Amino acid sequence: MPTTPLAQVLKMRHEAISRLFDAKFKAITRITVGSATCENAAGANPVYDRFVHLFGQNKKPGVALGRVGCAGRCDLEPVVTVISKGKIPVKYVKMTPAKVDKVFESHVLGGKVVEEYTMEHVAGLRQFKKIVSVCHGAGCIKKNLGVEKAFQDAITELGLGDSVAVTRSACQGLCERGPVAFVYPDSTVYQKVTPEIAKKIVEKHLHGGKPIAEHTWSGKRLANRFLPIYGNVQFFGKQLRLTLRNCGVIDPENLDEYLAVQGYEALGHVLTNMSQKEVIDAVTKSGLRGRGGGGYPAGRKWQIAYDQKSDQKYFICNADEGDPGAFMDRSTIEGDPHTILEGLMIGGYAIGADKGFVYIRAEYPMAIQRLEKAIADARAAGLLGKNILGSKFNFDIELRLGAGAFVCGEETALLASIEGSRGMPHPRPPYPTVSGLWGKPTCINNVETLANVPVVIIDGPAWFSSIGTPKSKGTKVFSLAGKVNNTGLIEVPMGTTLREVVYDVGGGIKGGKNFKAVQTGGPAGGCLPESTLDTPVDYDSLAAAGSIMGSGGMIVMDEDSCMVDVARFFLEFTQDESCGKCTPCREGTKRMLEMLERITAGKGKEGDVEKLLRLADTVRKASLCGLGQAAPNPVISTITHFRDEYDAHIREKKCPAGVCAALVTYTIIADKCVGCTACARKCPVQCISGAPKKVHVINQDACIKCGQCLLACKFDAVLRK
Amino acid sequence: MSPKTVETTTAPAAGELPEHVLKFIEQTRLLPHPESYLIAVLQMLQKHFGYLPAKSLDTVSQLMQIPSAKVTGVATFYHFFTFVPKGKHTISVCLGTACYVKGAGILVDRLKEMLGVEVGAASKDGLFTLEVARCVGACALAPVVIVDDKVYANVKPDELVKILSKYGYKPK
Amino acid sequence: MAEKKQISLTIDDVVVKVPEGSTIMDAADSIGVAIPRLCYHPHLSILGACRVCLVEVEGMRNPVASCAYPAEAGMKVRTSSTLLRRLRRDVVELILDNHPQECQTCERNTNCELQKLSFELGIRDRLFQGERKRYKKDLSSPAVTRDLEKCILCGRCVRVCEEVQGVTNLSQHRRGFHIEVSPAHQGNMMNSVCVQCGQCANVCPTAAIVEHNDSEAVFAALADPAKHVVVQTAPSIRAAIGEGFGYEPGTPATGRMVTALRLMGFDKVFDTNFGADLTIVEEAYEFMRRLQNNDRLPLLTSCSPGWIKFMEHFYPELIPHASTCRSPMMMLSVLLKTYYAEKAGIDPKNVFVVAIMPCTAKKFEAKRPEHFTPYGVPYTDAVLTTRELIWMMKCYGMDFRHLQDGEFDNPLGVSTGAADLFGTTGGVMEAALRTAYEKLTGKPCEKLDFVEVRGVEGVKESAVKIDGKVINVAVSNGLQNAKNLLDRVVRREKEYHLIEVMACTGGCIGGGGQPYPPPGMHIMDASLLKMRAKALYTIDSQKKLRKSHENPYILKLYEEYLGEPNGHKAHELLHTHYEPKFPRGIR
C-alpha cells in the first residue's frame, strides 16, 4: 500500500506509463507535431490534421501520433519529429499538408527519409546513423586533450565517415566526469574519455555495435530526454535544457506524459523527505537566482518569506512576460505547464503558503488554456487542493490575468493588479516577502525560476551549482532573434559566451553580413558591440559590459541596423508602458524620446547627446521602479558604444546604416541604370525623370524617401545611403 | 488579438450586464477579496460588448461596491479596455507621406462626411469604425485604404462609395 | 500599547534617535533637516511619486525616497550632495516642462509649492522642454474649479478624498504621459459623487484645484449704485483672516475684519453668527419635539453643506433624520431678503447678499434650488472663501494690521458666544446643548462649557444628563469619520439622540476655503486646528451672552416677525428639505 506522497507519485507514474504504453511507448515509430502559439501560427494544425487523415486511411500498427510543445527552432516551424527505435530522430521542418503527404508515403510507409525537408538538411548535415557529441563545456575542454580529434581520426580510419558524425555539445553538467561524450541515438554517455578510449569507442561501439560498459555513466538526469531527440543539430546540441527539458518532448496537455518523465516526483520527494528548511537550503545551495531579470537569489527570498510570522502567505508565479521579443515563459508554459505548478507548490510548501497565483498576461490565450487544463488535471489527480498526496499540505492555485500593462511585471505593480487596482508600483521597503498581497508575506518568482525548482530537487543542488559560473548557476533561456540564421528559443549554461550563442547556436549572421551589436534584456537592456562578444552570459558579466541579463530577450543586429533608431524604438515602448506615477519616468522618458525623434528626423542639435546622457542619469537614479530605472539603458549603451552614429545623425544629418527615413538619400547609379522606367512608374510623387533607355535621375527635393524605387529596380541601380 | 466583427448587443446603454457576468459577480461575493475580481469582470464585459459602455461600469461599481472613480481608473489603465464601440468593419486610411501626398487627407475628410464620424469613432449604424494608420509600407499603391484585412490601392474619393457598399454602406 | 523601540541613525553626520517605524524623512525633520518634498503630506498615505525627497543611503546603489524608506538602526544618510541637488533640480524641472508658464497671472502666485521649490532648488534654466499637456478647465462645479494643465500628479487630492473624506471621487486615469486625475469616467466634478467640500483644493500644491472665483460678481455688485450690498461673515473667518496678513493662526481679528469690509464698500456688515443663534433655537425646538415623540432619532445637524450632499449620496436612508433647519448662512440670507429688506424699506430684489465662508461647499449650497427666492434668484447671491476675501482686501490695498476695530451692524449683527463655536468641531453640539438643557429642564444651565465634546479628534461621544434623562451625543469631523459613526447608527449598534456632523477635519476652521497654513504647518495639523479653535473658545468665554436663546435680537425677531420657533412662518423661511442624489456613493 503506497502511503508516502513519494510512493504515491511513483505509483501514479507507473500507472501513467502503463496507459501510455499502448498509445505511445510500444510503438516502433512515434511522430510528434509541434503545438504552440508559434507553431500553430506557422500552420501546425493543418499538418497534424493531415497526419490524422492519412493514418485514418492507412492503418499502420506500431506508429503513434502525438503533439508536443515547441522545441524552440522558431524559424523552421512547423516541426514534425519522427522517432524510430534505434535511429536518430528525424526532424522535418517548415511542414505543410502537401509535404506531409510526401513524408507519409516515403518515410512512414516506405522507410526512406525525405532528406530535403529535414532540419539536418537545413543545417547542412546528412542523416547520420550515429552521432558522437563531444562536450565542449569549460570543464571538459580543459581536460579534453584531443578527444574530438581522436574520434574523427578513428572514424575516418574505419571508413565510417558517411554514417557517423562528430559534433560538439554544451556543458551537460557532468564536469566531474569529464571529458564527456554522448552517443546518439543510443543515449550512451561516456565519461573520462581519453583519446585511447575514444578510439576504442569507435571500434567497439560505433563499428561493432556494442557499447563499452566500463566507460559509460548510467546516471539519469531530468534534462537528458531532450538531447536524444534533437541533439544532433548544432542549434540544439549546444544547449543544456533544464527549464525547457520537456518542451518538444511531451504532450503538454497530458498529465500522464508529465508523470512519465518524473513529473511531480520532486513534489513527492519534498513532501515525504524534506522539511521546509531543507527545501530552502537546497534552493539556496543551488545558487538559483531569479530568472525574471533581477537575479535575486531565490533561496534568500524564500528564507525571508519563511521567517515571517503570518496566518496567511502567498506564492505567485510571474508570467507577465512583457518584453517585446521575449517568449521564453510562453513557450515554457505552453510546452510544459505542469512544471510551473510543481515549482509553485514546492515554493509554497517551503515558505508556508497554501495559496498560489499565476499572474499571466492576457495576450497568451494558449498558455492560459494549457495552464487551466493542467490545474484541472492536477486537482483531479489529487496533486492540488487539500491534503496533497495524502500529506498535510494544502495548496491551490488560481489564475489571474493581466490586461495589457507591461509595468505589471514589476512586483509591487503585479500585486496591485491582482488586488484589482491600477498597476502602479509602490516604494519598497516593505518588500513583498514581508508585506505583499493584501499585506501578507508573498513570494514572487518568474516562470523560469520555478521551472528549475524540480531540477534542483531531483538532480540535487550540488549538480545544479556545478553548471554555470561562480556567481550565476544553472542555465538561462534566451529568445534569440534578429539577424541570425537560426532564430528561436535556446537554453544555454551560464558562462556560455555571446560569441558562442550568436555563432555556434545562432549560426552566424544572416546573409553573410557583418555583426554589429547584440541587444540583451529587452527595453531594460543595452546593446553590446563586437568587442564584447567574448563576454560570458551571466548576471554580473553582462552588467559589467553595460547591459543586463534581463528576462532573456536577445536580438542580434547587423550593419543594416541603426543604433539610434534602436534606442528610439525601445524608448517608444517604455514611454507607452510607463504607468505615469513618478515624475522622472513619466516626463523624463517622454523628453528623451522627443530628443531621439528629433535626432532621427534630422533635427538633432549639438549638445543633444550630452542632454540625453544627463536626463538618462536622472531617470535611472530617480525613478520609483525598475521600469523607469532601466528605461535609459538602451540609450546609454548605444551612446557609449556607437557614439559615432549619434554624431553622424546630429552633425552630418546622415544615418550611416541607412535606416532613418529622413536622413537617407536615394540616388540612381548611372552606370547600372538601363532606363527601364520601372522606378519612375512606381514613384508615388513622380520625382524620377528620364527617357526610356536613358539614365534616370531622382529629384532630391521632391523625394519622399518611400523606397519604392529601390524595390522596383531589378538592376541594383538604386542606392540608398 | 483584435476582434474584427463585434456583435453589439442590445441595451448596453442602460447599463445592464449580461447574465454570466452577473452570476460571476455574485459568486465572487463568497470569495475572499471580492473587489480583486474587478479586472476579470471588465475583461468579460470587454469580450461581450467589444468595449466598456460607461453605464455598465457604473453598474459594476454598484454591484461590486467599488467607487466608480476606481472602476474607471482601473479600466483606463489597461490597454485591453476600450470605451468606444467598434463598428463591424474597420476602415483604416494610411496617412504615411506617400499616401498623404496622393490625397489620403481628402479621403479621410470624405469618409468623415459619409459616415458622420470623427476618426476613431464608429458610425451610428454600427457598421464602420474610421481609423488612420501611420505607414503601412505599400507606398507604391498610394493612397491606400484598408477595410478589415483587405487592401485597396490607388483609391480615389469617388470610389469610396463603391468600396464601402460591399460592406453594407448605403448612401444617405 | 508597547512603547516603540528607539533606534539611532546618522543623518549628515548627525546622530538622530527616533522610534522604530519612522521614515528617514521623519528622522531628518526631527533635527531640522527639511528635505525638499512635494507629494508627501503628513496626514495622507505615502505615495513616493514625486521623487523630490531623494536621499543617499550608504550601501544602496540608487538614492531612495526619504518619505517612504524606513529608518534603520546604524543607517548612514546624506540629504544633500552634488548628485542629489542635480536629481532634485532635474525632477522638478521635468514637472515645470509639462506645466503652464504663467506664474505671474496664476491664482497661486507667491503661494505655490511648485513655484517655491523651483526657486529653492535653483532651477534657472529649462533644459528639457517639449510637448505639453493641454486640457480644458473644469468649470462645472460652483465650488471648485480644476485646471489639469497645472496638475503635477502628486495624488494628494485623490488621497484626501479617499482616506480623509471617504468619498473617493477622484482617481488617476489612463497612464504614462497621458495620466490625469479626475472623477469617474474622466468626467467633471458636478456630475460625480463629489460633495464639494474643497479638501482637494486645500491640499493641492498648485492652482490645479482652487475654489471657484466669485470675486468679479461681488466687485460688480459693489460698484452698482442700485444694489444694496450686504455681507455676512461665518464664525471661522474672524479666527483665520489674520493669517492672510502675517498673524499667527488663532488670532481673533473680528473688529478689523468688519472695518475692512466696510472700507470695501459693503452697505451693511452682518454676522452669520446671528444665523447660528437662530439655527440653535429652531433646532433645539425641533430636537425637543423629536425627543418627546421618540421620532427619527438621532437628529443629525445640517449646517455643513458638504455633509448634507454627502448624506444625499451616501446615506440617503438617513435623510429623514437630518434637521430640516437651513444652515446659519442660509437662514441669514433669507432674513436679509425678507425681514431686513422690509425693515430697511429696501426692495429685496436690490439686496445683494455676500457671504464670507471658510467653505467651498457653501458656494454649491447657495445655488441649490431649495434656496432660491420665489422670484428666481438665490437668497445668497455670492459666497466668497476666506482666501478670496484676503486677496480682495489686498486688491483694495488694505494694511490690515493698522485698521481700527469696527462693530457689526444691527439688527443681524449681535450674537452670543454659542454662535462663535459653530466654527469648530463640537461647537454646534455645545451650543445646542446649552439651549436644549435650559429648554428641557426649565432650569438655567450652570456649566456652559461642555468640554466633553471639545477637541479635534475624529469622533467624540458623550452621554449628557439632562433632566434625569441620558442624551447620547456624538460629534464627528471629516467624512470618513462620519462614515464610521453613521455605519454604527445604521446598524443600530447604539441609541444616539443628537449627532453633529462636520464635513471637514476640525470643523469649519479646517474648511476648503480657509487660508493655506503658514510655513511649517499643514492642512489638518491638529496644532493648527487647535489654535484656530482656541480663538473661538476665547471669544465665546469673553462674551456676556453665551446662550443662543438669550440673544435679544433673536427674541425680537420672533416677537415681531417669525412668531413661534418651528411655527409656520419659521418653517417657511428657515427650513428646507433634502433629496437622494446620484450617483449613489459607495460605502
Q: What is the pLDDT of residues A464-501, one digit of tens each?
A: 998 999 999 999 999 998 888 888 899 999 999 999 99
Number of B:C CB contacts under 8 A? 56
Chain B residues within 8 A of A417 when measuring between CB atoms: 39
Count CB-CB contacts under 10 A for residue C487: 12
Q: Are A295 and A289 in contact (CB under 8 A)?
A: yes
Q: How far apart are CA C195 and CA C102, in angstroms?
A: 30
Contact B72 C169 (CB under 8 A): no
The reported pLDDT for the residue numbered B13 is: 53
- Residue C564 sits at φ, ψ, to 5 deg, of -90, 145
Chain A residues within 8 A of C51 when measuring between CB atoms: 582-584, 622-624
Mutation for testing the A interface, residue in C177, C178, C180 having most A CBs under 10 Å: C177
Contact A422 C90 (CB under 8 A): no
Lowest-pLDDT range of A58-62, B78-82, C508-512 = A58-62
pLDDT at B11 over 70: no
Residues 6+ apart with CB under 8 A from A275: none
Element (H, E) at A237: helix A234-237
Average predicted confidence (pLDDT) for chain A: 91
Share of chain C above pLDDT 90, in %: 94
pLDDT at C372 over 70: yes
Average predicted confidence (pLDDT) for chain C: 95
Q: How far apart are CA A227 and CA A239, in angstroms?
A: 9
Contact B77 C173 (CB under 8 A): yes
Mutation for testing the C interface, residue in B35, B63, B76 having most C CBs under 10 Å: B76
The three grid cell numbers given for residue A118, joined into one nine-digit string: 529535414
The reported pLDDT for the residue numbered B121 is: 83
Q: How far apart are CA C191 and CA C184, in angstroms?
A: 9
Q: Are A234 and A504 in contact (CB under 8 A)?
A: yes
Q: How far apart are CA C147 and CA C162, in angstroms?
A: 20
Q: How far apart are CA C326 and CA C566, in angstroms?
A: 12
Chain B residues within 8 A of A438 when measuring between CB atoms: 33
∠ CA B147-B152-B154, nearest 5°, is 140
Chain A residues within 8 A of C175 when measuring between CB atoms: 405, 407, 422, 578-580
In-domain check, residue A445 = yes
ipTM: 0.92
A64 or A219, which is more confident: A64
Distance between alpha carbon C373 and the CA centroid of its chain, in Å? 27
In-domain check, residue A29 = yes
- Domain count for chain A, please give it: 6
The reported pLDDT for the residue numbered B136 is: 67
- Mark which of A541, A558, A575 sits at the end of a domain: A558
The reported pLDDT for the residue numbered B135 is: 67
- Residue C431 sits at φ, ψ, to 5 deg, of -60, -40
Is A279 in the same domain as A383? yes
Per DSSP bridges, beta strands A475-482 and A488-493 are: antiparallel
CATH assignment of the domain containing A698: 3.30.70.20
Lowest-pLDDT range of A111-115, A658-662, C525-529 = A658-662
Chain A contact for C7, CB < 8 A?
no
Q: How far apart are CA A649 and CA B142, in angstroms?
A: 29
Q: How far apart are CA C343 and CA C166, in angstroms?
A: 45
A58 or C118, which is more confident: C118
Element (H, E) at A214: none
Whole-prediction pTM value?
Answer: 0.91
Q: How far apart are CA C153 and CA C110, in angstroms?
A: 20
Chain C contact for B60, CB < 8 A?
no
Chain A contact for B38, CB < 8 A?
yes
Share of chain A above pLDDT 70, in %: 99
Q: How far apart are CA C312 and CA C319, in angstroms?
A: 7
The per-type count for chain B, helices as H runs and strands as E runs, is 7, 4
Q: Are A497 and A476 in contact (CB under 8 A)?
A: no
The reported pLDDT for the residue numbered B137 is: 65
Return the bridge partners of A188, or none. A183
**Contact residues, A window 337-366, toward B, CB-based 8 Å cutoff:** 362-363, 365
Q: Walk me through the domains of chain C, giving residue ranges and CATH numbers.
A: 6-80 (3.10.20.740), 105-211 (3.30.70.20), 216-574 (3.40.50.1780)
In A460-527, which ranges are continuous DSSP H helix?
A: 461-466, 498-499
The reported pLDDT for the residue numbered C462 is: 93
Cα end-to-end distance, chain C, whole Å:
30
Q: Are A589 and A574 in contact (CB under 8 A)?
A: yes
Using one digit for the tens of pLDDT, what is the confidence trace for C68-91? 999 999 999 999 999 999 999 999
Share of chain A above pLDDT 90, in %: 62
Contact A400 B40 (CB under 8 A): yes
**Contact residues, C window 124-163, toward B, CB-based 8 Å cutoff:** 162
Q: Which of A583, A594, A629 sits opposite C62 (nearest CB)?
A: A629
The reported pLDDT for the residue numbered A281 is: 97
In-domain check, residue A246 = no
Q: How far does A666 lie from chain C, in Å, by closest CA?
A: 31
- Residue A603 sits at φ, ψ, to 5 deg, of -110, 25
The residue written with cell numbers 526532424 in the block is A91
**Mean pLDDT, residues A177-196 taken together:** 86
Q: Which of B42, B77, B98 sits opposite A706 (nearest CB)?
A: B98
Is A45 in the same domain as A80? yes
Count CB-CB contacts under 10 A for residue C560: 11
Q: Which of A403, A418, A707 sits opposite B43 (nearest CB)?
A: A403
Nearest CA in chain A to C54: A622
The reported pLDDT for the residue numbered B140 is: 67
Inter-helix orientation angle C254-264/C386-396, to 10°: 60
Q: How far apart are CA A675 and CA A1, in angstroms?
A: 88
Q: How far apart are CA A19 and CA A15, in angstroms?
A: 6
The reported pLDDT for the residue numbered B9 is: 41
pLDDT at C328 over 90: yes
pLDDT at A152 over 70: yes
- Residue A553 sits at φ, ψ, to 5 deg, of -70, 135
Using one digit for the tens of pLDDT, what is the confidence trace for A271-323? 999 999 999 999 999 999 999 988 999 999 999 999 999 999 999 999 999 88
Contact A707 B96 (CB under 8 A): no
pLDDT at B100 over 80: no
**Mean pLDDT, residues A350-358 taken together:** 97
- Mark which of A625, A652, A679 sits at the end of a domain: A652
Q: How far does C192 lie from chain B, in Å, by closest CA?
A: 9
Highest mean pLDDT among A15-19, A523-527, C52-56: C52-56
pLDDT at B25 over 70: yes
Contact C184 B69 (CB under 8 A): yes
Q: pLDDT band at A662, cuts 50/70/90?
A: confident
Q: Are A258 and A222 in contact (CB under 8 A)?
A: no
Lowest-pLDDT range of A98-107, A139-148, A605-614, C164-173 = A139-148
Element (H, E) at A608: helix A608-622
**C311: closest CA among C361, C357, C248, C239?**
C361
Using one digit for the tens of pLDDT, what is the confidence trace for A694-716? 999 999 988 888 788 888 888 88
Q: What is the per-residue DSSP string for B105-160?
A: HHHHHHHHHHHT--TT-B-TTSSEEEEEES--S-GGG-S-EEETTEEE-S--GGGH
The reported pLDDT for the residue numbered A303 is: 98
**Residue C95: HSE in the Cβ half-sphere, 13 Å Cα cutoff:** 29
Q: Which amino acid is at A423?
A: G
Q: How far apart are CA B116 and CA B126, in angstroms?
A: 12
Contact B68 C586 (CB under 8 A): yes
Lowest-pLDDT range of A445-459, A627-641, B87-101 = B87-101
The residue written with cell numbers 493514418 in the block is A55
In-domain check, residue A339 = yes
Contact B73 C586 (CB under 8 A): no
In-domain check, residue A242 = no
Catalytic (active-site) positions of C: 283, 286, 303, 323, 362, 365, 370, 508
CATH assignment of the domain containing A486: 3.10.20.600
Give the single-character DSSP code of C392: H
- The radius of gyration computed from the CA coordinates of chain B, to the nearest angstrom, equals 19
**Mean pLDDT, residues A410-436 taken together:** 96
Q: pLDDT band at A111, cuts 50/70/90?
A: confident
CATH assignment of the domain containing A296: 3.40.50.11540
Residues 6+ apart with CB under 8 A from A159: none
Q: pLDDT band at A2, cuts 50/70/90?
A: low
Residues 6+ apart with CB under 8 A from B116: B123, B124
Is A622 in the same domain as A522? no
Chain A residues within 8 A of B43 when measuring between CB atoms: 362, 401, 403
Q: Which of B1, B35, B97 sits opposite A420 (nearest CB)?
A: B35
In-domain check, residue A551 = yes
Is A280 in the same domain as A309? yes
Contact C586 B61 (CB under 8 A): yes
Residues 6+ apart with CB under 8 A from C543: C416, C417, C420
Is A106 in the same domain as A132? no
Chain C contact for B58, CB < 8 A?
yes
The three grid cell numbers given for residue A338, joined into one nine-digit string: 505542469
CA distances to A72, A81, A255, A522, B80 from A37, in Å: 12, 18, 20, 21, 20
A269 or B172, which is more confident: A269
**Mean pLDDT, residues C499-508 taken together:** 96
Is A621 in the same domain as A510? no
Mutation for testing the A interface, residue in C45, C50, C88, C91 having most A CBs under 10 Å: C91
Nearest-10 Cα torsion for C398, C401, C406, C407? 110
The three grid cell numbers given for residue A73, joined into one nine-digit string: 527552432
Q: How far apart are CA A674 and CA A690, in angstroms?
A: 11
- Mark which of A416, A437, A465 sits at the end of a domain: A465
Chain A residues within 8 A of B1 when measuring between CB atoms: 363, 365
CATH assignment of the domain containing A585: 1.20.1440.230
Which subunits sit against A, judged by 3+ Cβ pairs under 8 A?
B, C
Is A310 in the same domain as A428? yes
In-domain check, residue A244 = no
pLDDT at C349 over 70: yes
In-domain check, residue A657 = no
Share of chain C above pLDDT 70, in %: 100
Contact B43 A363 (CB under 8 A): no
Distance between alpha carbon B81 and the CA centroid of its chain, in Å? 10
Q: Which of A419, A707, A708 sits opposite B36 (nearest CB)?
A: A419
CA distances to A448, A661, C196, C214, C419 from A261, in Å: 18, 53, 66, 78, 84
Q: Are A173 and A227 in contact (CB under 8 A)?
A: no
Is A425 in the same domain as A516? no
Residues 6+ apart with CB under 8 A from C125: none
Chain A contact for C178, CB < 8 A?
yes
- Sheet strands side by side (includes A164-169): A164-169, A130-135, A181-184, A188-190
Is A39 in the same domain as A82? yes
Q: pLDDT band at B10, cuts 50/70/90?
A: very low
Is A518 in the same domain as A454? no
Q: How far apart are CA C373 and CA A142, in angstroms?
A: 100
The reported pLDDT for the residue numbered B134 is: 66
Q: What is the per-residue DSSP string for A331-383?
A: HHHHH-HHHHHHHHHHHHHHHT-SEEEEEE-TT-HHHHHHHHHHHHHHHHTTS
The reported pLDDT for the residue numbered C466 is: 87
CATH assignment of the domain containing A16: 3.40.30.10
pLDDT at C253 over 80: yes
Q: How far apart are CA C151 and CA C99, in angstroms?
A: 8
**Mean pLDDT, residues A33-39 taken together:** 87
Length of chain B: 172
The reported pLDDT for the residue numbered B7 is: 38
The three grid cell numbers given for residue C215, joined into one nine-digit string: 470675486
Number of A:B CB contacts under 8 A? 73
Q: Are C373 and C418 in contact (CB under 8 A)?
A: no
The reported pLDDT for the residue numbered B2 is: 34
B57 or A231, which is more confident: B57
pLDDT at A597 over 60: yes
pLDDT at C127 over 90: yes
Residues spanned by the domain of A596:
564-652
Q: How far apart are CA C71 and CA A57, in angstroms?
A: 76
Q: pLDDT band at B4, cuts 50/70/90?
A: very low
Is A410 in the same domain as A495? no
Is A620 in the same domain as A686? no
**A134: closest CA among A125, A146, A123, A124?**
A146
Mutation for testing the C interface, residue in A424, A548, A572, A586 having most C CBs under 10 Å: A586
